[in-house]
């Protein structure tokens, strides 16, 4: 069965188009040797993601990405919610393009779907290491427009 990937509420401010980002997400998933049944990437805003963070994770603070695996035993059907407000603010804070920050958040969400977690220090370090590897691999494709 072919993996389904969809993007919802694509932010028009991003370079490229929705299809380019779908191709990029598929390439990242393939590079991860990951085979989810479906991945939905949903762009939203700070108030929405903050409310979800409180409702589902009992944490009222702002966050940049929340990931849910809604699959049955043995299958991954993921939803990755990304705050475009946070992505823009963090891009400015870290001195990167908004596209690079969105790429990082997509990678972060996909790593969560693969089972990585960032709650404990050692796990967080390993997840960040993996995140950096994939971001470094795919940022040049963003920068030269070759998704």
DSSP the chain: -PPEEEEES--TTSSS-HHHHHHHHHHHHHHTT---SEEEEEEE-HHHHHHHHHHHHS--S--SEEEEE-PPTT--EEEEEEEHHHHHHHHHHHT--HHHHHHHHHHHHHHHHTT---SSHHHHHHHHHHHHHHHHHHHHHHHTT--
Question: What are the pLDDT digits (tens) for 92-103?
Answer: 999 999 999 999
Domains and CATH numbers, the chain: 4-142 (3.40.390.30)
User: Tens digit of pLDDT for each residue in 98-141?
Assistant: 999 999 999 999 999 999 999 899 999 999 999 999 999 999 87
- Look at residue 147 in the predicted model and tell me its pLDDT: 67
């Amino acid at each position: 069965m072919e993996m389904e990937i969809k993007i919802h509420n694509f932010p028009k401010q991003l370079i490229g188009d929705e299809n380019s980002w779908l191709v990029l997400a598929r390439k990242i998933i393939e590079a991860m040797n990951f085979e989810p049944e479906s991945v939905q990437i949903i762009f939203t805003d700070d108030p929405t993601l903050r409310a979800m963070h409180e409702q589902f994770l009992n944490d009222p603070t702002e966050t940049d990405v929340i990931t849910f695996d809604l699959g049955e035993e043995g299958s991954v059907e993921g939803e990755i919610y990304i705050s475009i407000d946070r992505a823009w603010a963090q891009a400015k804070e870290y001195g990167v393009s908004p596209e690079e920050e969105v790429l990082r958040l997509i990678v972060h969400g996909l790593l969560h779907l693969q089972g990585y977690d960032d709650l404990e220090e050692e796990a967080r370090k390993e997840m960040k290491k993996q995140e950096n590897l994939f971001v470094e691999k795919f940022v040049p494709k963003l920068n030269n427009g070759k998704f």
